[in-house]
Each structure stands twice: as C-alpha cells, then as structure tokens.
Amino acid sequence: MEFQQVIEGRRSIRKFEDKEVEDNKIKRIVENVMWTPSAHNNQEWEIFVVKDDEIKRKLAKAALHQDFVEHAPVVFVVCGDKNRCRENEMHYLFMDIGMVCYNICLTAYDLGLGSCIVGAFYPGEVSEILDLPENLIPLSLVPVGYPAEDPKPPRRRTDYVHWIK
C-alpha cells in the first residue's frame, strides 16, 4: 500500500468482523514493533497478545465497558517497562509507547485490518487481570481485527503549523 494511503486511510475501528486474524499477520505486527524508534534505544515495551475470550471480556470491563475491546479477535496490551527507563525520563517511555501503538495501527491497516488505540482504562485492573509485575505499566490496549465499519475521518485541524523564518 502507498505510504500516503496508509497515513490518510487508517481510521480507528470499533466494529470487527467475527473472523480470526491469521497468526502470520499478528507476527508481522509484533515484528514491526521492533523497528519503533525509542529514546536511548531503550526499547522499553512489552506486548501481551490476548486472544482469550474471558481475558478480553475483563479487559473491556477495565476499559470502562468499551465492549468493542471484547469483540476484537485480538487485543494487544502495550506496556512500558519502568526498569528500562531512567526515573527522570519517564516522558521518553510515554513517547516511545505512543509510537509503538501507532506502529501497530499502521501495520494493521497495511495488512487490511482495523485497530483502535484505547487509552481509557483502569491500569490497576489491567495489571491485575494479566498479573503484571510492578515494573510494567499498561499504557494502551489496541484491539485489532477485520473491520466491519468504514467510518469517515473525524475533522482534522489544519492550523497547527507555525513557520518561523
């Protein structure tokens, strides 16, 4: 797919077909994450690939009952590892994990899949559900599946550029 098409065409998808995502596509997504840039090359991400129905149901509940999380065939839980990041550089961890999430979404779109970055959830509940160690902070859920909707792009701002000449 053309790069510009990937950038403009990716949408947040919240309805998925009842169809499995092939393992080779899941593997491509997690392999692409490897190429995400990170501060000091920290690569401080840990990703849990959740296909289990009961766990997905619990994750959706932890995400303020955003039910589409449960109905996605696969949910990537993207965590940041505090131990791989200096204490006064936590902003790097947040930036790096944000890029991981976008990487997942762009790769998914390129593979014909839909995705949505989900940031509204109780991190404590997600840690409990996945029995995460204390050093891992769950920062995003990214449900992925074959899209069952084709939403219009939400309105974009164009007034954010400030040329300084």
Ligand X SMILES: Cc1cc2nc3c(=O)[nH]c(=O)nc-3n(C[C@H](O)[C@H](O)[C@H](O)COP(=O)(O)O)c2cc1C
Chain residues in the site for ligand X (CB under 6 A): 11-12, 14, 66, 116-120, 153-154
| Nearer to ligand X among residue 30 and residue 120 (C-beta) | 120
| Nearer to ligand X among residue 39 and residue 102 (C-beta) | 102
Give min distance, CB of 134 to ligand X, in A.
23
**Element counts in the chain: helices (H) and strands (E):** 6, 4
The count of C-alpha atoms lying within 13 angstroms of the C-alpha of 107, restricted to the half-sphere facing its C-beta, is 22
Alpha-carbon gap, residue 141 to 135, rounded angstroms: 18
Residue nearest to ligand X (CB): 119
| Nearer to ligand X among residue 26 and residue 62 (C-beta) | 62
Tokens 């690939």 belong to residue: 49
- Where is 105: in which H helix or E strand? helix 90-110
Give min distance, CB of 52 to ligand X, in A.
21
**How long a stretch of residues is the chain?**
165
Give min distance, CB of 165 to ligand X, in A.
30
- Quote the tokens at residue 114: 């839909």
- Strand, coil or helix: what is 146? coil
| Nearer to ligand X among residue 66 and residue 127 (C-beta) | 66
Give min distance, CB of 24 to ligand X, in A.
25
Of the candidates 22, 53, 48, the residue with the CA atom closest to the CA atom of residue 137: 48
| Nearer to ligand X among residue 152 and residue 165 (C-beta) | 152
